[in-house]
Chains A and B, each alone.
Chain A
Amino acid sequence: MKRAMLIPLTGLLAAAMAHLGWFEMRRPATDEGTAGVLAWLQDDLHLSADQFARIKALHERSGPQIQQLAEQATEMRTELESFENRRRNDGRVDFLAFAQFIEQRREFQRICTESTRRFLTAAASEMTPGQRARYLERFEPALGLNSGGIN
């Protein structure tokens, strides 16, 4: 009886050890900061060290401009919220100011989309045709999804 119990227990132990060992060995890293994202991109696209260095430099060069645009987008969102609050509280809408704001916003979104497209093209130009196809397949569709904008 003891032996009959020992074998299933050994099996259970073997399953648990194999599971934990394999999981720890293959578990994905959890760093999602810029360095982690770029490391993932290098791994995903099989970028060489040279390609990776150039693409990383491109990110570093474009970072401040993208950040600046992001801050402008935040300001525009705040402005849109203030239009909405005024409409709710006072029941009044300054249609002229709102139309100007919408026009500005449309132009701003065009600039942002253009900035992203330029970045994607610049990064893709550092890649081999296979890498480029995969890169654009992954990230280009997102440009279309964002055309809805800052709301």
Chain B
Amino acid sequence: MKTPPDPTDPTFEPLLNRIQPPPTAPLAREVWSRIAAGGSEAPESARPGLLAAIEAVFRQPAFAFAFVVACGLFGLLLAEMRVSRMHEARDVQLVQSYMRLIDPLLAVSDTAARIRTEDMP
């Protein structure tokens, strides 16, 4: 794609003035306005090829449906992994809690904490 000339380029204005006959003021203004408009709005055909390809793929209903379903399944997978990790950590905690229920030597720290709290004025 041809890039439009930079309006701030100091060599452009003399080149424009060398056109015979010299451009009239409205023509020069129009040239500049077209240059400015050309910089901000690229035609449809000038879009990058990858983006256009992605858009085309997403326009296919079958692909769109499969994509949404895959996203849902991915969300489920992540949730299951998270729940599984939580269950493992909770099992470890509950084993320790159960041991504190039945083993006086492990219950010591709880009792000590309670007694210290009761001793406080």
Contact = CB atoms under 8 A, between A and B. Distances in A.
Interface of A: 1, 3-4, 7-8, 10-12, 14-23, 26-28, 30, 32, 34, 36-37, 40-41, 44, 59, 62-63, 66-67, 69-74, 77, 109, 112-113, 115-116, 119-120, 138-139, 142-143, 146, 149-150
B97 A77 contact: no
A64 B116 CA distance: 20
Given A11-B68, A14-B71, A15-B71, A67 B107 contact: yes
Interface string B6-49: 00000000000000000000000000000000000000000000
Contacts of A37: 94, 97-98, 101
A146 B103 contact: yes
A45 to B, nearest CB: 11
Given A66-B102, A73-B111, A146-B103, A19 B58 contact: no
Interface in B103-120: 103-108, 110-112, 115
A44 B59 CA distance: 49
A33 to B, nearest CB: 9
Chain B interface helix/strand/loop/mixed: helix
A16 B90 contact: no
A17 B74 CA distance: 11
Contacts of B111: 67, 70-71, 73-74
* In the complex, the 8 A-B pairs of residues with the closest C-beta atoms, listed nearest first: A11-B71, A69-B104, A15-B75, A18-B75, A70-B107, A19-B75, A22-B79, A14-B72
Contacts, number: 141
Contacts of B58: 3-4, 7-8
Given A32-B94, A70-B110, A139-B95, A10 B79 contact: no
Contact of B64 (A7, A44, A70): A7
B54 to A, nearest CB: 7
B72 A18 contact: yes
Contacts of A149: 105
Given A1-B55, A15-B75, A70-B105, 7 more contacts: A4-B55, A18-B75, A28-B87, A30-B90, A70-B108, A120-B102, A146-B106
Contact of B108 (A7, A74, A142): A74
